[in-house]
Amino acid sequence: MGMRTRKDVQRYLILRPVSVTSSAGQPQLSAALKERARQEGFDPVGIACLPGSSRLQMRTAALQRWLDAGFQAEMGWMAAPRRLDARTLLDGARSLLAVGLNYYVSDSRQPNSLAIARYAWGRDYHRVVNQRLRRVGRWLETQRPESRWRVCVDAEPLLDKAWAEEAGLGWIGKHSNVIHRQRGSWMVIGHLLSTEDLVADQPAQARCGRCRACMDACPTDAIREPFVVDSRRCIAYHTIENREEQLPELIKTGMGPWVAGCDICQDVCPFNQKELPSSQDPEVQPRPWVLDLSAAQVEQWDPATWDQKLRGSALRRIKPWMWRRNAASAKSVDPPTLFSSEIR
Non-local CB neighbours of 82 within 8 Å, separated by 6+ positions: 88, 89, 157
Reply yes or no: is the peptide bond before residue 44 cis, omega within 30 of 0.
yes
* CA–CA distances in Å: residue 19 to residues 11, 38, 46, 140: 22, 14, 18, 9
Alpha helix (H) residue ranges in the chain = 6-12, 26-39, 54-68, 125-143, 160-166, 213-217, 235-240, 249-254, 264-267, 270-273, 295-299, 303-309, 320-329
CB 12 within 8 A of CB 282: yes
**Strand (E) or helix (H) holding 95:** strand 95-102
Phi, psi of 192 (to 5 degrees): -120, 105
Non-local CB neighbours of 273 within 8 Å, separated by 6+ positions: none
Among residues of the chain, what percentage have pLDDT more than 70?
90
Instruction: Return the pLDDT at 2.
Output: 54
Work out the average pLDDT over 72-98: 92
Work out the average pLDDT over 8-29: 66
pLDDT at 340 over 60: no
- 24-69 pLDDT, tens per residue? 558 999 999 999 999 999 999 999 999 999 999 999 999 999 999 9
* CA–CA distances in Å: residue 14 to residues 8, 78, 129: 11, 37, 16
Instruction: Return the pLDDT at 317.
Output: 95
Compute the distance between CA of residue 73 and CA of residue 242 in angstroms, rounded to an integer.
9
Compute the distance between CA of residue 325 and CA of residue 44 in angstroms, rounded to an integer.
37
Which residues face 194 on adjacent strands? 95, 149
Work out the average pLDDT over 199-227: 96
* Average pLDDT over all residues of the chain: 91
- 257-316 pLDDT, tens per residue? 999 999 999 999 999 998 898 999 999 999 999 999 999 999 999 999 999 999 999 999
- Which of the residues 154, 216, 267, 334 is marked catalytic? 154
The answer to whether 154 is a known catalytic residue is: yes
Work out the average pLDDT over 91-95: 96
Instruction: Return the pLDDT at 10.
Output: 59
Query: What is the C-alpha end-to-end distance of the chain, expressed in Å?
Result: 31
pTM > 0.85: yes or no: yes
CB atoms within 10 A of CB 306: 18
Q: Which DSSP state fits 198?
A: P
Work out the average pLDDT over 204-223: 96
pLDDT at 325 over 70: yes
Instruction: Return the pLDDT at 225.
Output: 96
Res. 153 pLDDT band, cuts 50 70 90: very high
CB atoms within 10 A of CB 327: 22
